[in-house]
Structure 1
Amino acid sequence: MLYTHATIVTVNASRSIYVDGAILVQGNKIADIGTTSELKATHSHEEEIDLTGRIIIPGLISTHMHTAQTLLRGTADDLELVSWLCERIWVMQGNFTAGDGYAAARLSIAEMLLTGTTTFLESMVSAPTPYLVVHILIFVQFADRYGFDGLCNAVTESGIRGCLGKIVMNIATYAKDPKWAMHPGLVEDREQSLLGALAMHEKWDKAANDRIRVWFGARTPGGVSDNLYKEMTALSRSKNIPITMHCAEVKTDRVFFDSCGHTPMSYCESVGLLGPQTVLVHMVHLDNSDIQKLAETKTNVAHCPTSNAKLASGICRVPDLQKAGVNIGLGTDGAPCNNTCDLLQEMKLAAIIHKSISFDPTAVPAEVVLEMATINGAKALGLADQIGSLEVGKKADFVAIDMRKIHLQPWFNPVSAVVYSATGRDVEMTVVDGRIVVQGGKLLTMNEEEIMTEAQRRSKEVVERAGLTNKVKSRWAEFKWLTLVDGPEHS
């Protein structure tokens, strides 16, 4: 297939931009890229899709996401992180069924594809069924009850690319504080979580034409013992299984590290977590020594500005991390702390918020943000040789944004237009692994109406089972509107 007449932002090593560009896709890879006139002359036999008026960018890569939480969108607004988790999110997720997890995954993936995300890193798949007192000794079944199979099936059917973190934990509180306990339905011990992760890696890694990669999704420090961290990190290196983990997100985390006699990164180093195989998420409360340690070890960071802002957690020191040479990707985090899975919206905030807090209008420009959402994300996932930029030989993952809209006109710099003006609703086409999965703004691989109907039903049921119906209502009075069938009565 030959995609022609688009403005193509390649994000290749020389950051080439083609004003009237074309991409040739053969199988699941980019076979050629250049000007439309050049490619039409040399590939005249190819079927053509005219993308005049569109900007093509590499498929967006979200380096932090919780698919299960999309079913809980809007149920935990205006709370700080620990209350948000302990009083709402963990309570609701602990009441999930496997079917709820699958429905949430489909909803998340549909939104991501429709808004231009072609690859995502799932942080921790959490248990979706009510707690079972009796231990099941077949560890695959523990991972199955997490909904891991359902998530993998949703990735397979949708066409998206997913790096999926299976939770690793053995402490059921936040920051080892007993008053911040997890819901029993989410609790696993070392055997269930670590061996379940290994079982899922054996079953699913590189499945779906290599679109699925299985990771360790370690809980935040305080949720995993030092010994289990060390066991997991040793396995990570011996079996080449990457790790993702929340870290230094809120002040409570910093208190925990201080109690251990560590800074965040000295603690992570002590248990083997640092290195290019690791993506650490949020990273808000860091010392200068932490930043230097990240750079020295080539550890990756996932920046989630909307989540950090909404939960009042603080903001990651992105300009300082960049100056030190740390690789930074971008993530939306979960829907209850962002309310969308739209990485284009996340890009705009990432480009703006650091200017505001640093009083520096040159901080984190649009070009840097697009790199964070594409090639930097690919580097963080260990996939930079396959995705993240538009180059011959790489996987054909790209997005076409329709610029023929009032709110996008006029435009001069395509990167500025995408980062500052576009949203996910402007995505017209999404291609993953050479396959068109969104065309004309419509999802081709799954039924949107079915996904929405199922999600609305299951979300209501989860909230009711959790006993939180009254907690998620509007602060304003609710009215029941009267339907006037025959018109108003007159006296």
Structure 2
Amino acid sequence: MFDLLIEGAVVVTMDRAGTVLKNSYVAVTEGRIAEVGEMPPGGETRARVKIDGRGKALLPGLIDCHCHAGHSFTRGSGIVDDWLDVMEDIYYRCTTPEFWYAEARLAAAEKIRFGTTTSVNIIGGSPLIHDQESIDAHFEGAQSLGARTFSGTGAPGGAWPKRAGRWQDGRFAEKSLTLEDALSITENTVCKWHNVNRGRTNAVVIISNLGPEKALTEEQSVRQIRAMREISLKYGVLLHGHSYGGGIAFAAKHCPECLGPDVSLAHCTGISPEEVKILARSGATVATGPSTKSHVRARCPVTELLDEGARVVFATDGNAPDRTFDLWKDLRIGQLLHRNYFNDTRLLPARKVLEMVTIDAAAALGMEDSLGSVEAGKIADLILVNVEQPHLYPFFSPVEQLVNAASGQDVDMVIVDGEIIMEGGRLARGGMKQILTDGDREFSAALERGGYRPEEFFGRDGA
């Protein structure tokens, strides 16, 4: 007997052969995919739970390889000129563990609602290093709704020492932080949170900027990059962070060991042709956010990277100040940006861009053998998309129609490890109203602690 049997769906497997099965079934046992095939099932048909998949497309859960914890509370704040400085002030000096727990649940709810089953998260805009209890609260909130998470802290941007503090009983206690504090809390976080919760919760090591840090000397920049790399190698976890034009060449020259298949770098905008080649040779992954402000300022050469054999994935960089965790929109934005740049509508075909948030993204996490496609033996992280809607009908070309027209709002069911964590838009492990109420309360309290007025914080984009 199967634990779960989904019958009658169009199965978009996302395997490397591009297999699409119409009127098919997927069977799940003990959290893994037991069988995939065309209807009717040839053998066992009994299951503890049966799901009618007719009118649905079944895909692997989407994987968002670059997000920021904290940002779910600060979206709409694009009118703040010194946005990054304000975010650091709020995250480092105005928050409590309750803030980070509530924000993580709000972010997890949005991702699940849009069909993202796995995400990579920097805790904070620049990684949080001042309070282990707040970091723990993020992990507890992120895992509470059932999704798979890779989260972490590490070396923040800017000069040392950092000024941060902790609110307790209405009083603020400030302290000074050094790189040694960052190393200690990063290693503690990895030891505590990597590969727990039956493998759904994992830690990563963060480097805010893989490249020369303006506020540091060259020697200091290299030292903190190497220090974070040593922790990631010691524990066998992903090294993740940001990089921009010149950063890749800097790393290749001063710390080449900091580039490799277990490294993923967000943005990579403004990089040179030589840096494209360096990334391709190293095996590192580029996580590009097509709807980010970074991509407005300079271009990430996605097509050139792919032509050189580099791995590139689309990510949301969610979700502030002006975006969401809806990966579906970033497929279309990314595809359109690079087609427009080259005046070539053949670039980045639908199957490729969908691979960039499924099987390619799983490979970026070192989990291609376990995630990213609907194949027997893999972990049952699955989504069902309601395709019986005008904008998706008639559903003759599943991959093309999903990429061209689907949105997160079309996701009907989300399954992680064989567990149904959302059905019909309703979360199985938490009430949406309570999540929203808790979020509103905690962010309002953070603004009050910092002396911020909402009218100074939110407003028209571009004002």
Tell me how far apart the structure 2 counterparts of residues 187 and 278 of structure 1 sit (CA, whole Å): 30
Aligned residue number for residue 406 of structure 1 = 390
Within 5 Å, give how 1:18-37 maps onto structure 2.
18-37=21-40
Are the counterparts in 2 of residues 56 and 400 from structure 1 also a CA contact under 8 Å?
yes
Tell me how far apart the structure 1 counterparts of residues 277 and 109 of structure 2 sit (CA, whole Å): 38
How big is the shift at 1:464? 3.4
Task: Confirm whether residue 293 of structure 1 aligns to residue 278 of structure 2.
Answer: yes
How big is the shift at 1:459? 2.2
**Inter-CA distance 360–182: structure 2 relative to 1 (3 Å threshold):** farther
Tell me how far apart the structure 2 counterparts of residues 187 and 28 of structure 1 sit (CA, whole Å): 45
CA offsets 1:423-464 (integer angstroms, 9 cap, x no match): 111100000111000101111111110010111222233233
Aligned residue number for residue 132 of structure 1 = none
How big is the shift at 1:273? 1.6
Which residue of the other structure, out of 140, 164, 172, is the alignment partner of 2:158? Answer: 172
How big is the shift at 1:465? 3.0
Q: Give the AA of the match of 1:364.
A: L
Tell me how far apart the structure 2 counterparts of residues 85 and 218 of structure 1 sit (CA, whole Å): 16
Task: Confirm whether residue 339 of structure 1 aligns to residue 340 of structure 2.
Answer: no
Aligned residue number for residue 102 of structure 1 = 101
Q: TM-score, with normalisation over the residues of structure 1?
A: 0.84
Which stretch of structure 1 is more off in the superposition, 440-449 or 456-465?
456-465
Which residue of the other structure, out of 265, 277, 282, is the alignment partner of 2:248? Answer: 265
Q: Give the AA of the match of 1:273.
A: C
Which residue of the other structure, out of 144, 152, 158, is the alignment partner of 2:145? Answer: 158
How big is the shift at 1:360? 1.1
Q: Secondary structure at the match of 1:370?
A: helix
Q: Secondary structure at the match of 2:21?
A: strand
Aligned residue number for residue 198 of structure 2 = 209
How big is the shift at 1:99? 0.9
Unaligned runs of 5+ in 1: 130-138, 249-253, 255-262, 477-491
Which residue of the other structure, out of 317, 325, 340, is the alignment partner of 2:309? Answer: 325
Return the index of the structure with the highest Cα Rg.
1
Aligned residue number for residue 199 of structure 1 = 188
CA offsets 1:273-310 (integer angstroms, 9 cap, x no match): 2101100100011111000000111011101111136x
Are the counterparts in 2 of residues 125 and 167 from structure 1 also a CA contact under 8 Å?
no
Aligned residue number for residue 117 of structure 1 = 116
Q: TM-score, with normalisation over the residues of structure 2?
A: 0.89
Q: Give the AA of the match of 2:452.
A: L
**Inter-CA distance 447–360: structure 2 relative to 1 (3 Å threshold):** same
Task: Confirm whether residue 245 of structure 1 aligns to residue 241 of structure 2.
Answer: yes
Are the counterparts in 1 of residues 261 and 283 from structure 2 also a CA contact under 8 Å?
yes
Tell me how far apart the structure 2 counterparts of residues 268 and 410 of structure 1 sit (CA, whole Å): 50
Unaligned runs of 5+ in 2: 166-174
Q: Give the AA of the match of 2:271.
A: L
Tell me how far apart the structure 1 counterparts of residues 293 and 415 of structure 2 sit (CA, whole Å): 30
Tell me how far apart the structure 2 counterparts of residues 125 and 382 of structure 1 sit (CA, whole Å): 24
Which residue of the other structure, out of 80, 89, 93, is the alignment partner of 2:87? Answer: 89
Tell me how far apart the structure 1 counterparts of residues 241 and 335 of structure 2 sit (CA, whole Å): 24
Aligned residue number for residue 170 of structure 2 = none
Identity within the alignment, %: 27
**Inter-CA distance 371–446: structure 2 relative to 1 (3 Å threshold):** same
Tell me how far apart the structure 1 counterparts of residues 322 and 393 of structure 2 sit (CA, whole Å): 27
**Inter-CA distance 331–183: structure 2 relative to 1 (3 Å threshold):** farther
**Inter-CA distance 189–246: structure 2 relative to 1 (3 Å threshold):** same
Are the counterparts in 1 of residues 318 and 325 from structure 2 also a CA contact under 8 Å?
yes
Q: Give the AA of the match of 2:285.
A: N
Is the strand fraction higher in 1 or 2?
2
Aligned residue number for residue 51 of structure 2 = 49
CA offsets 1:389-431 (integer angstroms, 9 cap, x no match): 1111110001100011222223321111111211111100000
How big is the shift at 1:236? 2.3
Aligned residue number for residue 226 of structure 1 = 222
Tell me how far apart the structure 1 counterparts of residues 436 and 138 of structure 2 sit (CA, whole Å): 17
Tell me how far apart the structure 1 counterparts of residues 123 and 206 of structure 2 sit (CA, whole Å): 5
How big is the shift at 1:355? 1.2
Which residue of the other structure, out of 458, 466, 476, is the alignment partner of 2:450? Answer: 466
CA offsets 1:313-337 (integer angstroms, 9 cap, x no match): 2231111111011111221113214
Tell me how far apart the structure 2 counterparts of residues 112 and 331 of structure 1 sit (CA, whole Å): 12
How big is the shift at 1:370? 0.4
Is the helix fraction higher in 1 or 2?
1
Tell me how far apart the structure 2 counterparts of residues 26 and 236 of structure 1 sit (CA, whole Å): 33
Corresponding pairs, count: 437
How big is the shift at 1:475? 5.2
**Inter-CA distance 99–287: structure 2 relative to 1 (3 Å threshold):** same
Which residue of the other structure, out of 60, 68, 93, is the alignment partner of 1:66? Answer: 68
CA offsets 1:242-273 (integer angstroms, 9 cap, x no match): 2001110xxxxx4xxxxxxxx32221222232
Tell me how far apart the structure 1 counterparts of residues 304 and 132 of structure 2 sit (CA, whole Å): 41
Are the counterparts in 2 of residues 172 and 187 from structure 1 also a CA contact under 8 Å?
no
Aligned residue number for residue 260 of structure 2 = 275
Are the counterparts in 2 of residues 430 and 437 from structure 1 also a CA contact under 8 Å?
yes
How big is the shift at 1:12? 0.9
Tell me how far apart the structure 2 counterparts of residues 428 and 123 of structure 1 sit (CA, whole Å): 28
**Inter-CA distance 475–35: structure 2 relative to 1 (3 Å threshold):** closer
